[in-house]
Structure 1
């Protein structure tokens, strides 16, 4: 049997003067009391700033940690986290008394049932006492979580007689040393209970352990595979009753107190850990942009800055990092499932219930606190600090130290200062591993207090062996030397243990938590005091500290960790990453504002229910949405033994400075941290495209949200309307009497004053046109009556200017497609139906949520892919909302007769038809219909501040078919035309039939086919006439388009690493061609060529261009019975281009 020796960290706090109870913080976790049935929540942690009921008694208080590998949980597919069992039996051995003439006195204790509900300790086990009965066994093995708290094992009072022991040191004088040895009484729970070398290697890797091989040993020798683990720790050179002991030369017993002074500590608050660290690094004169870049660096978001829309993407990314997310509960709905076989042919089927995944919900993260100078300890989470691989250095039995002396002098063998059989009194029923004796010899070999030559010491100089052993401690600093090698002038028999398992004399300080209290000062008007900015709420223009009587006292415990240093690792110099940094989250703020039950969930002994425990009745001061300020009034650091240091408060002479991150800082109020408006329960904002008919149902592949299209023309100041199929119906144009009038498209019957809604097939599109027309008719009345409101711009002019100004901020190249003639005939605008809903998943369902107006901003000018140009809210189509107030301020005027447009800002839009605020309000739980004017193929961003910004994009299949047929009519003339033939200059790249629409008489239309003009000078047979009319093209449909194009058969492909990079085939003369894919995409896009694949005996399969939302366009064939993509089956082109 081979044993793996795993070092653990041991702290020994020697209390020589007990002092008062108030000198010690209460850190004990109360034992949970299971209910008779169901589940309850119990506060097991003591209240912040609580003191122990009694002072810590005199003596040595030993507390050892668990290896990091045994404190990591593994999550399964269900989300449940499982922690490994920990050693459940521990032996503690003490060496005391003089080593010269020796032997040293040996005393031992046994903690036989560390995993029991009621742990016990057995004293003087070297005399062979019988073990007591184990008592009731727990339902599951003991883990690092204990009763369920992540920090449970770190506190001395929680694990007394499990991983801690108090030695009263009665009748003991001189140097003291301790050995701690732990093991599993059930071998099947040992982490090394595996079969085979492969499983052993995988387990060691999972645990982060490594068997250390000395440099002078042959690494090619096969190591035996351990089949059990033993855990050990040593504390050496401890003086009692005073720190010094005879023979230490006045040096070796000195105890360094690692507890910092209050003026050495500083605090920093941030909405995220990265922001708090940026505040730590910031200089007083640094601009806020510098802190933002530092936070982006630590978040790994700097790539967002360099890309398109970089600053906007970075703002959204940093804002999202202020929230945590959780999957929402799945919803159920019924769908119609057609029957198969003959039943399906007969129209049979049934309704079945299916589960639908809903969008995730977001909750605001609490502020994060970073402590600098707090005395960070490596006891927890830093086992790998002495290995280049970051692993814990372990050994095998047989590698323990047998002697530690000086070259040419005393060999310093440990067995020489011990009794012949020091552990012979231990009974076999204890199950103590045989390696415990070797570890005790090792303790005597590395302990300066056990040096055999202590008689050679003086009042100012220790003995040579003791000094050599103490010199090894200096190498415990990774920057000084190799701690696994003997110091110069020393000789070591065996392999030195990792310093993780060896503790020199000190007064340990291992800060695990920061207790704090503060004040929440709510804004007088709640969220209404905070204006909604580009991505989040902004500070009020003038911040006034709310009265203290309106505040709420908050208290909490911050569980500290080294995550701040871990975040810095790899982003800055290693020396800076080792700074004394601790951090944690101010958890519990939302629960305290809500007055929800807190604490751990405690189950009944046989409970199977996984539902959340019931909440207490709603408190009168319940807060559903917090908005205000936080002031930290008091704080103290607490370590695992209950020692503490007050760093902030009225009684601290030099309180720790508190700095705030960029988004928490409040100018003029350095003691306040801004708590921007956030729901205290999870929430989300849904923006869904809806049925274009107005029905409140989501759009999908079979339900289009597109109501129709608008094509603005700035030249003639018209707005043409098309249905969702791309057919034109008419336009709004300026009118000298009614300001704006409706004019039907060429070839359609005259409307004779009827509203547009009578002819437009979509009711929402018709109502949109009606309300714009009504707004301008009201403007005409105001102008006729001399009313001041008559001086505003018309609704039509305002809309045209808004669409044009906003459109210049949109770039959907590669996404919108090339189906329409935007550059030639105007840029079409899709009229899209959607709805927006704010949902708050609050189990209390507070009525104030439904009354809370949540400000929402749709669209943004800072994202080029955002194609929202304007929108209407609800069924109020009388008001047009713009994306940003800047659009109304800077929109240029429409071109005049000469074609010159007005200067930006010279004539701001003041029409009452336009809402220039840029925001609107939504009440949670109430869906709000929206009519969106969007660029086809673009996104629309929704910003609410209360949750992260999100984007929703239009599917191309909703717009591509209509855009390929959409053809506006251009008012043109006067032109000279023949009586027999209409010849006009036509663009060559537009495939279709051109027509000239003209009126012979009021209410009558005549349409002539247009013949393209040629360079030849042709004299007409009859006199020419002048004509005014509309020029329009009927685009060739997709099927006709490809039939009319030049067919090109592709018979082979050129591929590189599995990607098609070229298309090949035969020309008509038998020569080969090989066209690169980018060129083929351009040729297909021109419409002049139709590439296809055709297998013998099968029909042609067209090659299409696929333009993904992100990335480069690529080619594929239409899926058919032969293959999803026939290009994959073509042979490789072997000819050279």
Structure 2
């Protein structure tokens, strides 16, 4: 059945309403933050009178509230704030739009506020979306004018509050703002009263109210005024969060047919009631600096666990397992290690890595028959190569656009605040440099378009080549980039922090209104347009309910939602934080910078080590004493951490867990990573030089630069900060301040902070012991060494190589990467060598005196000019340079490795492991460390000047970050699911260097062997290398860097199953003493057969008996059948023979 629009009437969506009462004493004592952005401070030049106003650069920082700023104020009286319901405060992506983007639902734009004192009702009308050039009484909100052209002010005042008796219908001639919960783009716009007074809040001065009159309460009713009912809808799936499902369906309609509800059919209501014992008492409690429990971690779960398990490191880890939902893998193979990997991965956020194209079989096709022609493989490689070039260029264009904004920002500072920039900055040179950037971006945009067209053409050609095959082309996500999460702070609040109380009661579901009876409301008809008779009854009913409501009023199932006020409550919404960062590498952001302070190649390895069985690198030594850099920000708090812990524990243990989450508020300290890159994440204004004094300046900034930047103006530069593209060093908290819904503040004592073990770059127990031994000021927050990270988004590309000629490292695997097979024969102390298809080639064993290795039993010639020449090259190296000692150590290393490799997919040859090893694949793989976009650059004035002098906009000062080497731990001997036996290094031209075999199972270095260590494999940003690896193909291989989530790859079984089926393992039987009846059957029924069975007692599983064959040198193969037990009779004679006993895998 198709979706239908159902016209639902008479439903009220509840809201939470809060009130605070301010006396003259409160105005003096209470610190209040100002509005988030004051656009009245915008600088501009009015083209009408040619006058300049608020002279200075048009940048967001001049307009925004700074963290820890509290110079706002509230007037005496009652302040009301209503919180919009969930469905209006959460953005959604319109997937059907041409350019899908996040958007917020429309918010109600009219509000009727009613106050009850004794038996008298008073009404106000709040018109939230009206725009005025001058500020209206009872409002404080300003918003910027879109596409301001220089006429008049570049901002407008939003909202109007009028007593209902003064209302005239003039709104039709007043400009309107498309109102949502975030207003002009500020996330806290509707959440904090000082941001939205006169829009989603109102001040009642109590003018004319005597001390003897008792306020009973307030109610507010919101609606959509003059909404375009043909297009303005609320999605029913969202609305059901606030409205009971059954309420959305007419009696004769199937509820599945409901898809949307018209805005004009929705009303919103919130109510606050003042208890009688508060008569005449409007005092707030005294402000006290509260001590609270604070936790810091890589994630909310870590921060929460750090608080709850503060005195027990092991208990903290257990809580973190449940808080991060990692406990569900504990019962899997390598469960504890896999859980630790998930916890580590949770400390990163993922970023789209682009597109990769893959070939898949049509549904219903046998996987084992997956065969791809060489020409199709080449075309797929060409398509993916072009796609990767396009995606990488697109990422770089984003980076250079953002950098152009940073440079333009600095240009504005230098032009309008000359004391802020060094004198040696030449504005004309800056403009020329930015012109070069614009031209470079234009060239890159043309190249991106060309690559996009190339991808489209290759895609069309490729699809044509699949005609007649059972293959199809699918678009998939390329490997994602990973960026370290900003540190997360969690705060456990004590009950006494909440002075006063305001408890919510009643139903949070929508309720149906019986429209009988009326309450006279003057001029209601045009303030609630469209105002039908039914709508008038609804308003009347709501007012009448409010006029008579008490906590004991019986409203049936759907009791109206209301809050009870006894005194001013404190409901935290924001947290201002200040952090001290003690960098190991101090790269200053001023013109006195020492150029030798750039990164050295060994910087990371000198300071950190990646230990076995650890997911992260740990600090080698203490953090050096450096001058700390202060970073600060403001974040929105949520209660998700405590709720998630409670839910996870209940899911695992049931309701009897006994764990009750305290009131914990948490959030990531957004902007920290940006600050390390000398960037500030704050609300930015549009690219517009509102002070441009001439046509040339206006053309430069407001056309050329604006068009080149586009929407990439998210962060502004901090030229005097430190440059830390590697996040390594120590943190300490310098200040915390809570902010409530009315903008009031509470200072928190931040000296006692619980840091999670996951964020510490040292073992937590040792670090805590070290702190206890340290002496000093107990009021000073300790320096906490943090785990190292690359500050920018990055990814480790770890991929199989399938073809040396074309270096197929594009990531999609349609041909086997196996160069050949090696089966260790521990019984014969030899190596069985097979080609990639599983066909036996020869055996390698030592000669009689053990001084060299030889090739014996060669059956199949092997063309070393083919795609898998690595195998034969390795064999030639063995025969030319190695002896019995090397072979024995090689077999011992393999045997030791296989003791620790136990893939979940067990093979049929597992029981023979004591005689032979499992078939091992010789493979090649590539490694590359890649950033999302280009390298971050130093934003200091000094670096800016140097870059301008070089006149190379694409080659900027990055403090030599590209020189730093990061270690990789390949494989994990402690994990049964990891199949790496060892590896050989390769030269830059891709040829393996077989002089040393690296393995974690090597006991002693030397003789061509080395115990693998992370320091053996190092990657620089933008660099790559290849390896030859010996692996169990049924297991994965894991690469661990610590600075990124670990990366595992495995070979699809469809690419090697046939090869395993082709394999035969040989046991040389030399000689065999047999009885005559065991050589040839006396059974006449076997005479005349093409193959004469060979009878022999067989080892191993009886189910494998049909897999055994016998072959004499240069003779046909015979089937082996299990013989009967020996009789206790010695025959007259025995026969001796030699040959090979073979086991078909």
> Structure 1: how far apart are the matches of 2:614 and 2:226?
56
Q: How many Å separate the matches in 1 of 2:561 and 2:676?
A: 43
1:133-212 aligned within 5 A:
135-138=174-177, 141-174=178-211, 175-186=214-225, 188=227, 204-209=239-244
- CA positional deviation for 1:159: 0.8
Report matched runs for 1:224-235 at 5 Å: 228-235=265-272
Deviation at 1:124, TM superposition (A): 3.8
The 5 Å alignment of 1:956-995 reads: 956-976=1053-1073, 985=1096, 987=1098, 989-991=1105-1107, 993-995=1109-1111
Q: What displacement does 1:868 show?
A: 1.4
Whole-Å Cα distance in 2 between the matches of residues 880 and 259 of structure 1? Answer: 73
Secondary structure at the counterpart of residue 812 of structure 1: coil
Determine helix, strand or coil for the equivalent of 1:629: strand
Query: Please, what TM-score do these two structures have when normalized by structure 1?
Result: 0.67
Contact 1:375 1:509 in 2 (8 A): no
> How far did 1:640 drift?
2.4
Which of 1, 5, 12 is the matching residue for 1:5? 12
**Alignment partner of 1:88 is 2:88:** no
Structure 1's 506 and 765: CA in aligned 2 closer, same or farther, altered over 3 A?
Answer: same
The aligned residue for residue 547 of structure 1 is 625
Q: CA deviation digits over 1:641-667, x for unaligned, max 9?
A: 221111136xxxxx5554535543543
Per the alignment, do residues 511 and 955 of structure 1 end up closer, same or farther by CA in structure 2, a change over 3 Å counting?
same
Structure-1 residue corresponding to 2:297: 270
Note the C-alpha offset of 1:150. 2.5
Select which of 631, 637, 641 maps to 2:742.
641
Q: How many residues align?
A: 872
| Equivalent-residue separation in structure 1 for 2:665 and 2:831 (angstroms) | 62
CA separation of 1:808/1:200 partners in 2, compared to 1, >3 Å: closer, same or farther?
Answer: closer
Larger Rg: 1
Structure 1 residues 859 and 92: alpha-carbon distance in aligned structure 2, compared to 1, 3 A threshold: same
TM-score, normalised on structure 2?
Answer: 0.67
Deviation at 1:530, TM superposition (A): 2.4
Q: CA deviation at 1:708?
A: 0.9
Residues 725-750 of structure 1 show CA distances to partners (whole Å, capped at 9, x for unaligned) of 3344444434576744223325689x
Listed one character per residue, the Cα deviations across residues 542-594 of structure 1 (whole Å, up to 9, x for unaligned) are: 65243132x32211112101212431443356996563221111111110001
Partner residue of 2:68?
49
Alignment of 1:235-246 (within 5 A): 235-237=272-274
Partner of 1:563: 640
Q: Highest relative contact order (Cα 8 Å, sep 6+), 1 or 2? A: 2
Shift of residue 935, structure 1, vs aligned partner: 1.5
Residue 915 of structure 2 is aligned to residue 831 of structure 1: no
Q: State the secondary structure of the residue aligned to 1:516.
A: strand
* Equivalent of 2:835 in 713, 717, 723: 723
1:493-523 Cα distance to aligned partner (Å, 9 max, x none): 7669857433424213121111111112233
Aligned-partner Cα distance in 1 for 2:1123–2:569:
97
Q: 1:72–1:845: structure 2 CA closer, same or farther, 3 Å change rule?
A: closer
Partner of 1:1051: none
Correspondence for 1:415: none
Answer whether contact 2:110 2:225 (CA < 8 A) is retained.
Answer: no
Gaps of 5+ in 2: 1-7, 46-57, 132-155, 249-260, 357-386, 388-454, 586-602, 689-702, 772-780, 938-957, 1081-1093, 1099-1103
Query: Which position in structure 2 is the counterpart of 1:405?
Result: none
Post-superposition offset of 1:181: 3.0
Aligned mates of 2:660, 2:231 — CA distance in 1: 33
Aligned to 1:713: 825
Asked if the contact 2:610–2:1014 (Cα under 8 Å) also holds between the matched residues in 1, the reply is no
* Structure 2 partner of 1:280: 307
Which secondary structure state, in structure 2, belongs to the residue aligned with residue 320 of structure 1? helix
**Deviates most, 604-613 or 166-175:** 604-613
Pair 1:325–1:115, CA change in 2 (3 A) = farther
SS of corresponding position for 1:592: helix
- Whether 1:365 aligns to 2:485 is yes
Within 2, Cα distance between the matches of 1:615 and 1:327?
20
Instruction: Write the mapping of 1:841-990 to structure 2, written as runs, cut at 5 A.
Output: 841-844=932-935, 848-875=960-987, 876-878=992-994, 880=996, 882=998, 884=1000, 887-889=1001-1003, 908=1004, 910-917=1006-1013, 920-976=1017-1073, 985=1096, 987=1098, 989-990=1105-1106
Q: Identify the residue that residue 402 of structure 2 maps to in structure 1.
A: none
Q: 1:811 touches 1:864 (CA, 8 Å); kept in 2?
A: yes
Distance change in 2, residues 1:427/1:557 (3 Å): same
Alignment of 1:591-670 (within 5 A): 591-600=674-683, 612-613=712-713, 621-648=722-749, 657-664=753-760, 665=764, 666-667=767-768, 668-669=770-771
* Secondary structure at the counterpart of residue 306 of structure 1: coil
Cα offset, 1:115, TM superposition: 5.4
Partners of 2:12 and 2:512 within 8 A in 1: yes
Shift of 1:327: 2.1
What secondary structure sits across from 2:160 in the alignment? coil
Inter-partner Cα distance in structure 1 for 2:173 and 2:873: 82
Task: Please report how far the alpha carbon of residue 537 of structure 1 lies from its aligned counterpart in structure 2 after TM superposition.
Answer: 5.2
Give how far 1:374 is off. 6.0
Q: Distance in 1 between matches of 2:461 and 2:545?
A: 78
Alpha-carbon distance, 1:119 to partner = 2.6
- Superposed CA RMSD in Å reads 4.8
- The 2-side partners of 1:583 and 1:536 are apart by 27
Bigger helix share = 2
Deviation at 1:34, TM superposition (A): 12
Indicate if the aligned counterparts of 1:563 and 1:582 stay in contact, CA closer than 8 A: yes
How much has 1:144 moved relative to structure 2?
0.9
Q: Out of 635-644 and 686-695, give the one that drifted further.
A: 686-695
> Are residues 236 and 841 of structure 1, via their aligned partners in 2, closer, same or farther at CA, if it must alter by over 3 Å?
same
| Cα deviation 1:1051-1102 (Å, max 9, x = unaligned) | xxxxxxxxxxxxxxxxxxxxxxxxxxxxxxxxxxxxxxxxxxxxxxxxxxxx
